[in-house]
Structure 1
Amino acid sequence: MWGCVRLSRLISLGAALAFAGAVTTTEAGADPAPRRVVSINLCTDQLAMLLAAPGQLVSVSDLAADPHSSAMAEAARGYPVNQGRAEEVYLLAPDLVVAGAYTDPATIGMLRRVGLRVEQFDTAKSLNDTRARIAQMARVLGREDEGTALIAEFDARLEALEAEAGNHPRAALYHPNGYTLGGGTLADDILRAAGFHNLAAELGHRGGGTLPLEQLVMAAPDLLISAAPLPGASRSEAVLGHPALDALRKGRAGLRITSPDWICGTPHVLNAVERLTDARRALPEGGQ
């Protein structure tokens, strides 16, 4: 019985949404700015929070408020959260849902089948991609002027940071389970913008993968960048306390980072560039 009632509610809501959408389009012309936006992806959460008009964004994903994942965790606490389930999103009555390229295809398909507009955003793999994601979010929200201003601010700050880049010491990203990021990644572009060569890319790695501990130690990067330990003492993090890495940090330089500024193609990536620039300046002899 409950299933029938719930289904009837969804059907009724779908009809109401379809009618409301038709009226809005007729009154305002083609492609009106959405009035109720729901984000179900960590990266679209942050882009939408940066660009949405007051009251336009009505819900963000639960990851948006996680300080271990989100660069805007504090701001996200001002929004209702969702777990990205299709029925839950539908009942929020959005006229736009923003999602990632790898958001559960079943969820995306279900939302589209019931008539909701869904815009998906590719993962940013470079700083240029970051500009493109900002512009895309501004377009779908009907906030092009705000997007142009945010990109101009991003470019000005990036130009100031890149202008300081001198010689190019070698840096290595080394995370739990020996995970690293090589060429063709946002992390690689962040390193290069801060004036570093990415050791993993130099060794032929593209995308994410494992870097053997022995290879890392023998390559002796000027800066070893590791993730800050998370609560829970995961065994995957044990390698980060290996004596060989401790010796490498003491003999060269080490930097512990948190990941939120590195994950998504948003202006917050420049916080990572800035911190790395400071680390490069602190290296003896410029790291060479």
Structure 2
Amino acid sequence: MFGPRHPLMLIAVLLIAAAPAPHRPRRIVSLNLCADHFLIPLADRGQIAALTRFARDPEISAEAARAAHYPVSRGTAEELLALRPDLVITSPWRRAAIAELLRGRGVAIADVPDAQDYAGIRANIATVAALVGHPDRGTALIARMDAQLDALGPARGHGRTAAYWQRRGFLTGAGTLVDDLLRRAGLANLATRLGRPALSRLSLEELVANPPDFLFAEAGPVRDQGTELLTHPAVLRAVPPRRRLHIPGALIACATPAYPRAVANIAAQLLAADRIPTRARSQ
């Protein structure tokens, strides 16, 4: 039936059958909001004993809708012990304390490092997929994300400058997720051109003296003195409202599989801004 290759095919089938199945933890507890975003698409529903309570907050979680169907915890020691996990995914800064709490209980502890770019996100997907015993899902998720980014087509920024300037004048610079997103969209980060670090303060006067083509600022009404700066008349003259953009906080609170959505969000806003008549753009 198989011809002369039949013996080799039989050996291959036997080797695949004999290969050990990936270890799959049965009760995973997440103490890391960013890890929640990886567990939901990569782990079985039944494997997840609890996500963080922040996973359901739409202001900071890109998976809030799906997280509503998962159990959550506040991350207290009492809750963690009661959940009887066999794998805890935590933050690097909490790892030592969690290890001490769970010492002698045979619980695996892992952390998801903070990623600052797409390469880091892809690496974290592969890591978490292996931890939960579904490496194939990690490979498939990365492939879907790559395809989503390819489908966006050429970057629409065309080298124009952009500043991510938030309440109290904080400016986001190089080596951050936001900087990576701006570059992916074809924009040049004003912070880099000014030689600023990853995070700095940029005064109103400095912004007005170096107006970017686009200003990413917090959306919504003025809430306090920190956000009042963003709507100062001098800022509105330097960067008119039609050139002010916004990235939802849930898409950038963590470097997660939501990355293509964040890039698409920026691309859509750039496209909309470019469709505005030239004269109207300055208003």
Fold in common (TM above 0.5): yes
CA drift at 1:203? 1.3
Structure 1 residues 120 and 251: alpha-carbon distance in aligned structure 2, compared to 1, 3 A threshold: closer
Structure 1 spans left out of the alignment, 5+ residues: 1-27
Amino acid at match of 1:143: H
1:92 paired residue number = 83
CA distance, structure 2, for counterparts of residue 251 and residue 64 of structure 1: 32
Structure 1 residues 162 and 179: alpha-carbon distance in aligned structure 2, compared to 1, 3 A threshold: farther
2:172 paired residue number = 181
- For the pair 1:277 / 2:267, whether they are aligned, the reply is yes
Q: Which one of 116, 123, 140 corresponds to residue 132 of structure 1?
A: 123
Deviates more, 1:50-59 or 1:108-117: 108-117
What is the percent sequence identity of the aligned residues? 38
Deviations 1:23-63, CA, capped at 9 Å, x for gaps: xxxxx979721011111111001110111113111211111
- For the pair 1:218 / 2:209, whether they are aligned, the reply is yes
- For the pair 1:82 / 2:73, whether they are aligned, the reply is yes
1:263 paired residue number = 253
CA distance, structure 2, for counterparts of residue 221 and residue 253 of structure 1: 9
CA distance, structure 1, for counterparts of residue 57 and residue 98 of structure 2: 22
CA distance, structure 2, for counterparts of residue 170 and residue 68 of structure 1: 27
CA distance, structure 1, for counterparts of residue 179 and residue 58 of structure 2: 23
* 8 A Cα contact 2:157 2:187, kept in partner: no
CA distance, structure 2, for counterparts of residue 160 and residue 106 of structure 1: 44
* 8 A Cα contact 2:216 2:247, kept in partner: yes
Which TM-score applies when normalising by structure 2? 0.83
SS in structure 2 at match of 1:118: strand
**Within 5 A, what are the aligned runs for 1:157-236?**
157-161=148-152, 163-165=154-156, 167-229=158-220, 233-236=223-226
- For the pair 1:53 / 2:44, whether they are aligned, the reply is yes
CA drift at 1:141? 0.4
Deviations 1:221-247, CA, capped at 9 Å, x for gaps: 11100122489x243222122222222
Structure 2 spans left out of the alignment, 5+ residues: 1-18
Which TM-score applies when normalising by structure 1? 0.82
- For the pair 1:242 / 2:235, whether they are aligned, the reply is no
CA distance, structure 2, for counterparts of residue 161 and residue 215 of structure 1: 34
Amino acid at match of 1:49: I
Structure 1 residues 215 and 104: alpha-carbon distance in aligned structure 2, compared to 1, 3 A threshold: farther
Structure 1 residues 113 and 170: alpha-carbon distance in aligned structure 2, compared to 1, 3 A threshold: farther
SS in structure 2 at match of 1:174: strand
- Return the index of the structure with the highest Cα Rg: 2
Amino acid at match of 1:148: T
